[in-house]
Amino acid sequence: MDTDLLQQTARKMVAPGKGILAADESHPTIGKRFGALGIEASEENRRLYRQMFFCSPGIENYISGVILFDETIRQSTDDGVPFPQWMNSLGIVPGIKVDKGVKPLPGHPGETVTEGLDGLRDRLAEYFELGARFAKWRAVINIGENLPSTASVVANAHALARYAALCQEASIVPIVEPEVLMSGDHDIDTCETVTTKVLQCTFEQLQQQGVLLEGIVLKPSMVIPGSEGPVAGIKEVAQRTVRCLTSTVPASVPGITFLSGGQSDEDATSHLDAINRLGDHPWNLTFSYGRALQTTAMKTWGGKPEALESASQAFLKRARCNSAATSGTWEPSMEETAV
């Protein structure tokens, strides 16, 4: 375990003005998103689509790291440069999703636990060789009637901590992602209570497993009402999110990169902006968005080679707006201007 490398990588991932592009959708997930737009889910289409992001001119001004899927870390640009090498040439850190997805938690209907610990040590060694310097593991917590159960919170936090310890042993920075889902009709108060409990338990487990907090990046969901619940204002989301993080996340964690979790592009940006307008925080607060960086670009591309350049421009616009949000300097008028 190279602790200097871990701390250096973690700081690079949350460098001021930059955030992470999550491009690690599993085959079924990207297949569904392509399918909805009539795009064939072939290996070459996935490569072309992701290359469009990675080769967007100036991406390195806004993006510090990219989370890849197993297939993608082994793919190359049109010119035959392996994607991890291409990213390194731009100063972008290549990362890899290592969890194997969620499975039903036995005895707990409506709840899941993330799998993927078996064999993880060997997979991490290979990913390090392939160039990955950080990893991602997503735990999912559902809010519902009497949910989440303590069993699901503890099982998911324990798995996150075991994963994080294995990553650090391999000198790979773990992104610790406990996602509290937005699905449901719960209010923001419920989300705050659940997220606080989940983060408390996650840090207890990380400490029990001896994880170096200076060498992780936390990827939480924001404190936000359920998608069918009573709406909350942007400032309220920001204030509650910061309150929840302040009470649970030690200052030794270098950075927090939010997931977008199904928020619209502009909501994800304006919430991050409002969070950063609340003043100095002990950690850098930035983005690690999947859908909120990709949705417009994917629609713009639609599988048409002639639309790749406009798709890339659509992506750069989101990246630039989110970059501004990391310093609380995003303005709605930025949504009107081209890149």
Catalytic annotation on 136?
Answer: no
Residues sharing a CB contact under 8 Å with residue 214, sequence separation 6 or more, in sequence order: 3, 6, 7, 10, 252, 253, 254
H-helix segments, 302-339: 308-325
Q: Shortest distance, CB of residue 258 to ligand 13P, whole angstroms?
A: 8
Question: Would you state the structure tokens that stand for residue 56, as one six-digit string?
Answer: 């967007």
The residue from 177, 192, 197, 317 that is catalytic is 177
Q: What is the DSSP letter of 258?
A: E
Note whether 289 and 260 are within 8 A (CB). Answer: yes
Helix, strand, or coil here: 191? helix
- The interface region with ligand 13P, picked from 77-85, 161-169, 257-265, 299-307 by CB under 6 A, is 257-265
Q: Shortest distance, CB of residue 107 to ligand 13P, whole angstroms?
A: 25
Show the site string, 137-156: x = touches ligand 13P by CB under 6 A, - = not: -x------------------
Q: Which residues pair with 82 in a beta bridge?
A: 76
20-48 core/surface letters (b: 16 or more CB in 10 A; e: else)? bbbbbbeeeebbebbeeeebeeeeeebbb
**Which residue number places its CB atom closest to ligand 13P?**
290
Sign of the CA dihedral with 252 first, then 84, 130, and 259 last: positive
Note whether 58 and 32 are within 8 A (CB). Answer: no
Note whether 286 and 14 are within 8 A (CB). Answer: yes
What number of helices (H) and strands (E) belong to the chain? 12, 10
> Contact between 87 and ligand 13P (CB under 6 A)?
no
C-alpha distances out from residue 59 to 163, 310, 326, Å? 30, 14, 16
The tally of CA atoms less than 13 A away on the side-chain side of residue 211 is: 33
> Contact between 292 and ligand 13P (CB under 6 A)?
yes
Q: Shortest distance, CB of residue 39 to ligand 13P, whole angstroms?
A: 18
> Contact between 215 and ligand 13P (CB under 6 A)?
no
> Contact between 220 and ligand 13P (CB under 6 A)?
no
> Contact between 317 and ligand 13P (CB under 6 A)?
no
> Contact between 289 and ligand 13P (CB under 6 A)?
yes
Q: Between 22 and 272, name the residue whose CB sits nearer to ligand 13P.
A: 22
Residues 16-75, interacting with ligand 13P (CB under 6 A)? 22
Q: Shortest distance, CB of residue 289 to ligand 13P, whole angstroms?
A: 4
> Contact between 218 and ligand 13P (CB under 6 A)?
no
Catalytic annotation on 299?
Answer: no
Candidate residues 46, 186, 291, 318; the one interacting with ligand 13P per rule CB under 6 A: 291
Q: Shortest distance, CB of residue 291 to ligand 13P, whole angstroms?
A: 3
Give the footprint of ligand 13P on this chain (CB under 6 A).
Answer: 22, 138, 177, 259-261, 289-292
Question: Which residue numbers are catalytic?
Answer: 177, 219
